[in-house]
Chains A and B, each alone.
Chain A
Amino acid sequence: MSGGGMFKLEELSQAVIRGDNDAAFNLAENALAENVPARQILEKGLIPGLRRVGDLFESGEYFLPELIVAGDAVSQALDLLEPILAQAETPFMGNFLIGTVKGDIHDLGKNIVVMMLKGNGWKVTDLGVDITPEEFCETVKKGDYQVIGLSCLLTMTMGHVEKTISRLTESGLRDKIKVMVGGAPTTPAWAEKIGADAHAKDGPAAAKKAAALIGKGE
């Protein structure tokens, strides 16, 4: 790739940080036209941009609106890249299964996690809300997932996160998959207590921790 290509990928990162959909799309399109591999556009342009957005969120400079428009910019560019990336046998990061646990129908936090994961190169299967332990287990059994994310917003549904992990163990599936938990009432200490592999407090943290869980962290 030429030096100009690298410059464009840095520009692409900046477009993501600004949440500029059109610029992100055009820069990705130009990079493809210059024969920059799709995986490189993702790895050197979109993901660094979205990680910087995550850092800005964590440091208190960015909030939900900025996170969402950055996710939109990535999503626009991914529309171009996905058909090409899909030709590869394995996704860039891996397959991530996610859902809000039984009894809980809140999904804002989960949806932002999905957005961040997709932008970071994960193929995400979102089961939706109010998912029973059995439904999670059935999906894990049938698919090739590296990480499962269990979300809950209510104190009273935290117990269903623990039940889902227990059901994975009883079904002999626990060793097959890493478990990440998150949601407003959850804490890292609680996550450890119930046997999860990781706790994420928000979307950017989920993307970082998911990468670390499969040995692809920064």
Chain B
Amino acid sequence: MGKMTGLERVLTALKLKEPDVVPHFERVAKTVREAILPGASEEDFIEHMDLDGLRFIDRTHSWSYEMVDENKRIKKDQWGGFVRYTTEDNPVPMEPAIKSEKDLDAYVAPDPDQPWRYEYLKKVVKRFKGQRAIVVGVTDVFALGRENFLGDINYFRAMVKNTDMIERANEIILDYQLRYMKNCIESGVDLFWVNGDWAMTEKPMVSRKFTERFLAPPLKKLVDFAHSRGVPVVKHTDGNIWPIYDVIIDSGIDGLHPIDPMAGMDIGEAKSKFGDKVCLCGNVSCAFSLVSGTAEEVRRETREVIRKAGKGGGLICMSSNSVHSGVKPENYVAMVNAIREFGRYPLAL
């Protein structure tokens, strides 16, 4: 087999076939990037590490924010809620946009058709199109509704007491996201990455019945739309999804991330149970080995992930969430090197 481009590698794995090498891409925190290649932009870093794709999320690259309190790093997000920025520069919701059902009556949603939202995407398309996978995050309708729009507690309460409010919220968010995806497709996206947790470490957030009723239908609409334009979709959710994994897969997704090891999700078991249906994306621990292990421990764990889940293709090897600022830079490099050392097809593991 000849050498594939990063894009070909990723798309081949998503089709559950063997590429030349197990693909890898990752969101890497600026501090880690700086330690590896000081002063480089994210795109330069990707080229330097020869990663197979570039992934960014909608919250950070296409949503608008207004500063509310600079000292406390609090901003108002485009939905009308308040977020606070972490040290990772991720906006974490702290107060939702909608306080009561009445707020929905006069609610004006943000406009996904504003051209500035796609400037970064167009920039990376110009640089990487056809060579590396351009992966755009789309916040899950459930996650956006729960975190930014209605607020966690109100959302869960409404699932039991006021299902109409959930339906109305989902409709507003879905309309935005579908238009956002359409614009991303026209701008050159290769793969959608639907962010948003459906599970906690112990178990899913809501029952299987509620998962089927409220969470899965909007996801399926996102997936169906992307597929209608020939773009694959990876769903991300942390947590223990064993009780609902089939519901997630039935939405038609092409890949599932991260097969959370901290929640007891073993990637070998995932491979045997649903590795013939979706591409597995994961799951070198960014809670333990990448943070506090040695480079050799990371190398061994990466080898193990490839051994368990790489056979026959259908694996994108990456961390179990993201390469956050707590990850040792040398451990990230060790993971990337190990993927290239052990991930060449046919696998010799």
Report A's interface with B, CB cutoff 8 A: 19, 60, 63-66, 68-69, 72, 103, 105-108, 111, 129, 154-156, 184-185, 201-202
B262:A63 contact, CB within 8 angstroms: no
Q: Which residue of B lies closest to A104 (CB)?
A: B86
Say whether, besides A103-B87, A108-B152, A201-B202, A155 and B287 are in contact (CB < 8 Å).
yes
Closest CB-CB distance, B154 to chain A, in whole Å? 9
| Alpha-carbon distance between A111 and B94 when the two chains are bound, in angstroms | 12
Say whether, besides A63-B207, A105-B92, A155-B287, A72 and B200 are in contact (CB < 8 Å).
no
- Find chain B residues with CB under 8 A from A19 CB: 160-161
B291:A65 contact, CB within 8 angstroms: no
B210:A63 contact, CB within 8 angstroms: yes
- Find chain B residues with CB under 8 A from A184 CB: 200-201, 238, 262
Contact with A along B154-171 (1 / 0, CB 8 A): 001101110000000000
A156:B291 contact, CB within 8 angstroms: yes
Report B's interface with A, CB cutoff 8 A: 84, 86-87, 92, 94, 152-153, 156-157, 159-161, 200-207, 210, 238, 243, 262, 286-288, 291, 324-326
B92:A66 contact, CB within 8 angstroms: no
A63:B203 contact, CB within 8 angstroms: yes
| Alpha-carbon distance between A184 and B206 when the two chains are bound, in angstroms | 17
Closest CB-CB distance, A109 to chain B, in whole Å? 8
Say whether, besides A105-B92, A108-B152, A65 and B203 are in contact (CB < 8 Å).
no
A155:B291 contact, CB within 8 angstroms: yes
A65:B201 contact, CB within 8 angstroms: no
| Alpha-carbon distance between A216 and B87 when the two chains are bound, in angstroms | 40
B153:A68 contact, CB within 8 angstroms: yes
Closest CB-CB distance, A87 to chain B, in whole Å? 30
Say whether, besides A63-B205, A108-B152, A156-B325, A69 and B94 are in contact (CB < 8 Å).
no
**16 A-B Cβ contacts within 8 A?**
A63-B206, A63-B210, A65-B156, A68-B157, A103-B86, A105-B92, A111-B152, A111-B153, A155-B286, A155-B288, A155-B326, A156-B291, A156-B324, A185-B287, A202-B200, A202-B202
Closest CB-CB distance, B119 to chain A, in whole Å? 28
Closest CB-CB distance, B64 to chain A, in whole Å? 21
Closest CB-CB distance, A58 to chain B, in whole Å? 9
List 19 other contacts, CB 8 Å, given A64-B156, A154-B326, A185-B287. A63-B203, A63-B205, A64-B205, A65-B157, A65-B159, A65-B160, A65-B207, A66-B207, A68-B160, A69-B160, A105-B84, A105-B86, A111-B153, A129-B94, A155-B286, A155-B288, A156-B324, A184-B200, A202-B202
Say whether, besides A72-B157, A103-B87, A65 and B210 are in contact (CB < 8 Å).
yes
A contacts with B: majority SS = loop
Say whether, besides A65-B159, A111-B153, A106 and B92 are in contact (CB < 8 Å).
yes
Which of A63, A69, A72, A108: most chain B CB closer than 10 A?
Answer: A63
- Find chain A residues with CB under 8 A from B262 CB: 184-185
Q: Which residue of A lies closest to B260 (CB)?
A: A184
Closest CB-CB distance, A103 to chain B, in whole Å? 6
Which of A19, A156, A185, A201: most chain B CB closer than 10 A?
Answer: A156
Closest CB-CB distance, B282 to chain A, in whole Å? 16
Q: Which residue of A lies closest to B262 (CB)?
A: A185
Q: Which residue of A lies closest to B324 (CB)?
A: A156
- Find chain B residues with CB under 8 A from A66 CB: 160, 207
Closest CB-CB distance, A164 to chain B, in whole Å? 18
Partner of B326, one of A64, A106, A156: A156
- Find chain A residues with CB under 8 A from B152 CB: 108, 111
| Alpha-carbon distance between A154 and B86 when the two chains are bound, in angstroms | 11
Closest CB-CB distance, B241 to chain A, in whole Å? 13
| Alpha-carbon distance between A154 and B92 when the two chains are bound, in angstroms | 13
B325:A68 contact, CB within 8 angstroms: no
- Find chain A residues with CB under 8 A from B287 CB: 155, 185
Q: Which residue of A lies closest to B158 (CB)?
A: A65
- Find chain B residues with CB under 8 A from A185 CB: 262, 287
